[in-house]
């Protein structure tokens, strides 16, 4: 079995299970070594598939239960409105996670028929987005911030302060503030348990712990 095919098969296998499965069980199921399975699980995580390790009885590797949503029936007009709204949000930087927003829009757009997609494109061309976009962060930084916020894990950042000094801090994100020209992170510094606010555009590097 080629690796790409196996990764898809592992994803569907995990999606279908109500309990976790051990790496050894996965290795036996797909007739590969443990080392290969660990590499495959890392590859799935790199592709932003929420593979988690659950503890206790029935534990093991599993997909985050919140990964998928129940089917939602949208009319073509409702889907088009959501895509238009999301496109506006991206253009105006109204959300701090553009890549996640774009993936969601692609899924909604992909659910439309060819005729509905063409009509959607015509309507989007008639929209004009005017305003001052907020300063954003790099793609790597926003991906790390997104992961840390949604999973509530610590985030280590390299932060360029107002005095241009670069410092490293480990924080937990408590909330985000989206101003017209800035995106701010409300955080608690892990070392001192003090509340701090950081500008997203001043974070030069970020790593989820």
Q: 26-31 long-range contacts, Cβ below 8 Å, gap at least 24?
A: 26/61, 30/1, 30/6, 31/1
135 or 52, higher pLDDT = 52
Position 115 in a domain: yes
Please calculate the CA angle 141-142-146 and round it to the nearest 5 degrees. Answer: 120
Query: For residue 136, is pLDDT > 80?
Result: no
Q: What percent of the chain has pLDDT over 70?
A: 90
Q: How confident is the model at residue 168 (pLDDT cuts 50, 70, 90)?
A: very high
Q: Are 57 and 82 found together in one domain? A: no
Residues 10 and 54 in one domain: yes
49 in any annotated domain? yes
Is the pLDDT score of 69 beyond 60?
no
DSSP state of 129: -
> Is the same domain home to 153 and 187?
yes
* Percent of the chain residues topping a pLDDT of 90: 24
Look at 114 and 29; give whichever has higher pLDDT: 29
Q: Which of 22-31, 51-60, 145-154 has the lowest mean pLDDT?
A: 51-60
Q: Which domain holds residue 19?
A: 3-63
Residue 21 DSSP one-character state: B
180 occurs within a structural domain: yes
Look up the CATH number of the domain holding residue 190: 2.30.30
58 has a pLDDT exceeding 70: no
- Residues 52-67: what's their mean pLDDT? 73
In this prediction, residues 36-57 reach a mean pLDDT of 83
Take residue 72 and report the two structure tokens written for it.
């939602």
User: In the predicted model, is pLDDT for residue 156 greater than 90?
Assistant: yes
From residue 189, give the alpha-carbon distance in Å to each of 103, 147, 149, 159.
31, 17, 14, 13
Q: CA 175, 177, 178, 182 torsion: positive or negative? A: negative
Number of domains comprising the chain: 3
């Amino acid at each position: 079995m080629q690796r790409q095919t196996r990764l898809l098969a592992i994803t569907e296998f995990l999606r279908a299970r109500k309990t976790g499965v051990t790496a050894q069980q996965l290795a036996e199921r797909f007739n590969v070594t443990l080392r290969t399975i660990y590499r495959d699980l890392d590859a799935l995580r790199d592709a932003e598939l929420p593979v988690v390790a659950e503890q206790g009885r029935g534990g093991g590797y599993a997909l985050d239960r919140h990964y998928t949503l129940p089917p939602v029936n949208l009319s073509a007009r409702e889907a088009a409105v959501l895509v238009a709204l999301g496109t506006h949000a991206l253009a105006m930087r109204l959300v701090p996670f553009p890549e996640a927003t774009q993936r969601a829009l692609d899924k909604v757009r992909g659910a439309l028929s060819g005729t509905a997609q063409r009509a959607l494109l015509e309507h989007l061309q008639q929209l004009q987005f005017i305003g001052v976009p907020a300063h954003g962060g790099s793609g790597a930084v926003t991906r790390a911030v997104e992961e840390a916020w949604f999973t509530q894990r610590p985030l280590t950042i390299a932060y360029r302060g107002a005095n241009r000094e670069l410092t490293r801090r480990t924080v937990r994100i408590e909330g985000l503030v989206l101003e017209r020209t800035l995106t701010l992170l409300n955080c608690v510094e892990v070392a001192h348990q003090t509340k701090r606010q950081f500008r997203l555009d001043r974070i030069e590097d970020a790593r989820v712990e």
